[in-house]
Chain A
Amino acid sequence: MKLPIYLDYAATTPVDARVAEKMMQFLTMDGEFGNPASRSHRFGWQAEEAVEIARSQIAELVNADPREIVFTSGATESNNLAIKGAADFYRKKGKHLITVKTEHKATLDTMRQLEREGYEVTYLEPQTDGLITVAMLEAAIRPDTSVVSVMFVNNEIGVVQDIAAIGELCRSKGIIFHVDAAQAAGKLDIDLQALKVDLMSFSGHKAYGPKGIGALFVRRKPRIRLEAQMHGGGHERGMRSGTLPTHQIVAMGEAFRLAKLEMHDEIKRITALRDRLINGVKDIEQVFLNGNREHRVPHITNISFNYVEGESLIMALKDIAVSSGSACTSASLEPSYVLRALGMSDELAHSSIRFSIGRYTTEAQIDHTIKIVHQAIEKLRAMSPLWDMYKDGVDLNTVAWVAH
């Protein structure tokens, strides 16, 4: 078996070979390298046509109108544009925003910036299963609430929020509703004709497209307005200036087209692999699956191995590429803020690993992973003073630790 095994698809996916093939046709002199904004010659017209086809492909995956898709550099930019753009445009309505503590940093840091600019933000604390309820949101809504932002699929634990119900509530109150769907597109069915979502962020590289490209859905009916955050040539209906990267857009379009075609088969296959992984490790003592069991995507599985520290576990799983928390935070020594927001203790949060499965994961890879996890847990627990204490019946909460 080829090592290491990649089980970090939630951090990024490889570009599908079919997508890369398509992308390469839009770069060189022999290809269609033109600027889609060039109106005076064929090079521009062809590039523009390619961009519009891709725009339709993206819209089709989520049942939206192509005119509702705005290209950005990625989901981080989409989140920034959606939240800042809507908060700015609708600031006369109010300066109160609502989001959730377990959102991606691209949302949380955007909210923090808006707080510095004089907005007030409420951060909802999810239940211990990672979900928020409509009642929680309703209780936080004020007359001056202008924007609510909730992610579709959590990037660390994979839970799926009830976007349909949250959308109904926001629409009934006349509040703009933004959804970060970076981890959701191509992983579950999204129907923007049915969902009362006003703004939705997408990423290319989480769905077998390239990095550096994303999109923002901006609803036309009822029409949502945004204050542009990037100024220039007035591209993308004035919402996002900057020359469109044709090759990346075409690639994202192709990736989303393939997702629409293959998503349902892929979900079945990945669910089977996920179940195989969970069944393979669930008999280890003191192992916990994090997040709601039912409302989740199969791609992301977050497991706590109590009394084993996450970073050393990742080191022990050296031929398996997994992460503790999201890639954006794994350089820090802090335990995952997402797991902490679920009310999990620091030590259990420190002991958690995210396994994310994708298009190229095989049964043999999962079986190898299970074997390595068993070996690693055994080795590290044999070395863990906490494990000894647990086995001796010591309640770790009653120990007077000498913190440093």
Chain B
Amino acid sequence: MAYSNKVIDHYENPRNVGSFDKDDASVATGMVGAPACGDVMKLQIKVNAEGIIEDAKFKTYGCGSAIASSSLVTEWVKGKSLDEAQQIKNTDIAQELALPPVKIHCSILAEDAIKAAIADYKQKHGG
């Protein structure tokens, strides 16, 4: 299967790989997917006092498109408020990376990862 140049770029030079201390109050974690399905994404966001995502990191077990999708969203969420990040759509991710139809689930997973991280943050901070 031929990958788009953007997928290859993110795959070969993934942005923001890593982890934050999950016990840090400003850090929230979203982990979605399942090993049995071949994809697990862990997205962490660091939110400042103004409610702006100031940093993000990811780790992903999955195909090149899954890695690229998570790498891309770490770039996209930075500098956004939680509400703005909540608006990121899987279709935008798929379009940006020119994902083929069989890889659309990777972009859906990346959107889910953002939403899961935001939900975790809200839960940590009393909703």
Residues of A with Cβ closer than 8 Å to B?
307-312, 315, 331, 333, 335, 345-347, 350, 382-388, 396, 401-404
Contact = CB atoms under 8 A, between A and B. Distances in A.
Interface of B: 1, 3, 11, 14, 17, 19, 31-42, 59-64, 66-67, 102, 105, 108-109, 112, 116
Contacts, number: 86
Nearest to A308: B61
A404 B36 contact: no
B17 A404 contact: no
Given A309-B62, A404-B109, A385 B40 contact: yes
A404 B59 contact: no
B96 to A, nearest CB: 19
Given A315-B11, A383-B14, A402 B60 contact: no
Contacts of A345: 35-36
Given A315-B11, A404-B112, A384 B61 contact: yes
Contacts of A385: 31, 40-42, 59-61
Contacts of B64: 311-312, 315
Nearest to B43: A385
A302 to B, nearest CB: 17
Contacts of B102: 333
A223 B38 CA distance: 49
Given A331-B1, A383-B14, A404-B109, A388 B59 contact: yes
A384 B59 contact: yes
A215 to B, nearest CB: 33
28 contacts: A308-B61, A309-B61, A309-B66, A311-B38, A312-B62, A312-B66, A315-B64, A333-B102, A345-B35, A345-B36, A347-B35, A347-B36, A347-B38, A350-B35, A383-B17, A383-B59, A385-B42, A385-B59, A385-B61, A386-B35, A386-B40, A401-B36, A403-B33, A404-B33, A404-B34, A404-B39, A404-B105, A404-B108
